[in-house]
Copies of this chain bind each other. A is one copy, B any other.
């Protein structure tokens, strides 16, 4: 019989990774209301926004205002994505608790995303991480397209390992491994984690799945088997493309909670409070979100 962890940490990334893909600009006051709701669910970590230039992500153009307006609950760490020094300045000025830096393991994807090679991105991350830590901020690293890139296909474990090494050397406390295009299956997960967890501890690795092909919870299961104890997710399954009905973004926090709790794995999150937040943002977006548990919840209420 496989043994699973008794408790895991869920890092809620919906307000950032979810909302950044929405065509609709959710008004600042609604974002703040959403984050305040999330703060009362028992979550210990919320990524609230991104300090990327508004030209690239207009949906999150109000990042400073959002961070300054939310109620900070005790026991919740508030994080924001930061691409460069300019973003970091704003993040520090708005007094966020933690910053996330990001890099793609695929050269082509990184070039399209950052307009720079991986080699040229690393020094930027290094100075952001250095300065963030000097300002008392913890720093998390994202690696994207870890299970496959739309341009390059699968990336070698050696390359992923090397970039994990670099980020940890630079001072991130944890690396979130992203299945950006939702192609991973349990076999890939098992194989990659088998390699990585020989070198790093489970505390240094988080998994960030997208449910594009319906495999996200299967990949979570394979990750639990391997000993992973930290998962990113988005309430309601926010994210994905609003033009493709049902196209899933991140694994839905709602579904992740359902599965974990029923497996007797504690998260500290109140499922019914989380579902209320999902209902709220679904109404604001005016389209059905992809969370399965949200649909079950709504059907029960009627």
Contacts and interface: CB of A to CB of B under 8 A. Distances in A.
The 8 closest A-B pairs by CB, nearest first: A214-B292, A187-B263, A217-B218, A214-B255, A185-B262, A218-B221, A218-B218, A186-B221
A117 interface: no
Interface stretch (A32-40, A105-113, A246-254): A246-254
A111 to B, nearest CB: 23
A292 to B, nearest CB: 4
A222 B222 CA distance: 9
A229 interface: no
Contact of A211 (B185, B220, B262, B292): B292
Contacts of A211: 214, 292
Number of copies: 2
A54 interface: no
B188 A262 contact: yes
Nearest to A216: B214
20 contacts: A1-B190, A185-B259, A185-B262, A186-B259, A187-B263, A188-B262, A212-B292, A212-B296, A213-B255, A213-B292, A214-B214, A214-B216, A214-B252, A214-B292, A221-B222, A244-B295, A246-B246, A246-B292, A246-B295, A248-B292
A259 B213 contact: yes
Contacts of A186: 221, 259, 263
A246 B247 CA distance: 11
Nearest to A184: B262
A267 interface: no
Interface string A237-268: 00001001111100010010011001110000
Contacts of A85: none
Nearest to A264: B187
Given A1-B190, A2-B190, A259-B213, A247 B293 contact: no
A127 interface: no
